[in-house]
Amino acid sequence: MDNAGKVFASLNSWRMQSTFRVSGTLRQPVNLEKLEAALQKTLPRFPLFRARLKPGFFWYYFEPSDKPPAILPDSRFPLGESFSAMGRGYPWHIRVYHRTVALDCAHALTDGFGALTFLNTLLAEYLDYRGPRAREQGLLDVSEAPLPEELENDFPRHYTPGLPKVPHPEPAARLPLTQESAGVRHVTRGLVPAAALKQQAKAAGVSVGEYLNAAYLEALQGCVLGEGGEALVRPGGPLRIDVPVNLRAVFPSKSLRNFFLTVFIEIDPRLGAWTFEEILESVHHQMRLKRSPRLYRQIISRNVGSERNPFLRHMPLLLKNALMPWIFRKWNLRWSTSGLSNLGLLTLPPEMAAHIDRFDVLPTHPASRGLSCAAIAFGDRVSVCFNRTVREPTVERLFFRALQARGIPVTVESNEV
């Protein structure tokens, strides 16, 4: 297992959930028999997805399995189960509802890129697409044999011992929101025209990702300080979001396993209410400052170094499972208020894209954090999904209202009835 997978495998309850969802919505209702046949064709190309996660004495490990994976009907509250309760022992399953095919996947197995590659290839088989397939588009040829590099754990290749430690940030501010009961997950999805968003971002001189990060930080600030800037609660620290970075774009890699890390972007509401322009400028510079392979190597070295710690290596899994949620909560979740995963623009061959309406991502979300957000662009639309385990939709409301007020039309869907 890779470095991130080892951590995520021990976070296995509804409170410390480590599963996420990527889904594709077709233009026609899904034919289950056809999907099952496509899955049978796709699976041999992805040995990683034919493995079940088993507990060893010191770590979890993958065990190859020939059992057919599960295709299940979707539920109103997605990602309700921990990965060990997923279909037929695999740390993933497919859920289908009407026109949507969703892949629910444990982060212990792969990251967003790996999951999207599997889903795209599955949809290509389902749609009988026979054109050229590019790895960069997240499409693999099922007639080819799997490459050994696809199963490689790429983190240790960039491990440099003896690098200075990454300084720990101060604990981030918490959102003053009410926790929902167990198993309830509110999903709010906003569909935004990509052209309008791009135009706004271009006018502000930032990228679309930076614009979304800034808008999210502005909504979080509104949630903490109140929409008018009057402090609802005294913020206990900076508002900080963790932004995952796909390392394949920086270091050459063909791995389908986890190969990402997160960087922190923050504003400090204790210094007063920030205007959107100020947030944009700050986010723009922070993102550029942190986009450095040297800094990435430093973070990788810290993560891999702690994994190689002899004390941690020889600790029985039972203890790791008991301690890891606590460590994760204490060291990782405290550092950020929320998270925004931006999977970027997904481009598929036109023959295939014509049959697909849109793609959505539902991020991994530990219940103690309140809410997380993810975005993906496909065709002429950007889908922004909020995964929320708190009662109040304050952040979504502020986020989408702000976009609408800046001339970006928003269409909202929600699983609340």
Partner 1 sequence: MAYCPECGIEVSTPRADCPLCGAALQDQPVDAATPFPVTVQRTRHEPYRWVDIRRILFTGLSLLPTLGIVSVLAVNLLQNGSVHWARYAVLSLVTGWAVLALALYQFRRPLKLVWASAGVLAVFCFLLALFNGGQCWWLTLALPILLTVAVLFHWVWRCTYVRRVHWALGSAVILAAVMALCLALEFIIALNLDQDLAPTWSGIVCLVLAPPSLFLLYVRYRLSKKVDLGKLFHR
Binding site for partner 1 (CB under 8 A): 12-14, 73-77, 80-82, 84-85, 97-98, 182-183, 187-191, 393, 396-397, 400-401, 404-405, 409-417
How far apart are CB 170 and partner 1 at their closest, in Å? 16
Enumerate the β-bridge partners of residue 261.
245
Q: How is residue 4 written in tokens?
A: 């991130």
249 vs 181: CA distance, rounded Å: 39
**Measured from the CB atom, is 271 or 417 closer to partner 1?**
417
- Orientation angle between helical segments 32-42 and 112-126, nearest 10 degrees: 120
397 vs 368: CA distance, rounded Å: 20
How far apart are CB 147 and partner 1 at their closest, in Å? 33
How far apart are CB 296 and partner 1 at their closest, in Å? 31
**Measured from the CB atom, is 298 or 368 closer to partner 1?**
368
Closest CA to 267 of 291, 292, 248, 284: 284
**Measured from the CB atom, is 129 or 378 closer to partner 1?**
378
**Measured from the CB atom, is 163 or 410 closer to partner 1?**
410
- Residue 265's Cβ-count burial label (10 Å; 0-12, 13-18, 19+) is buried
How far apart are CB 361 and partner 1 at their closest, in Å? 15
How far apart are CB 7 and partner 1 at their closest, in Å? 18
**Measured from the CB atom, is 75 or 153 closer to partner 1?**
75
How far apart are CB 100 and partner 1 at their closest, in Å? 8
How far apart are CB 417 and partner 1 at their closest, in Å? 6
**Measured from the CB atom, is 3 or 200 closer to partner 1?**
200
**Measured from the CB atom, is 332 or 415 closer to partner 1?**
415
How far apart are CB 252 and partner 1 at their closest, in Å? 38
**Measured from the CB atom, is 74 or 278 closer to partner 1?**
74
**Measured from the CB atom, is 307 or 396 closer to partner 1?**
396
How far apart are CB 244 and partner 1 at their closest, in Å? 25
Per the CB < 8 A criterion, the answer to whether 120 and 137 are in contact is yes
Q: How is residue 179 written in tokens?
A: 């926790």
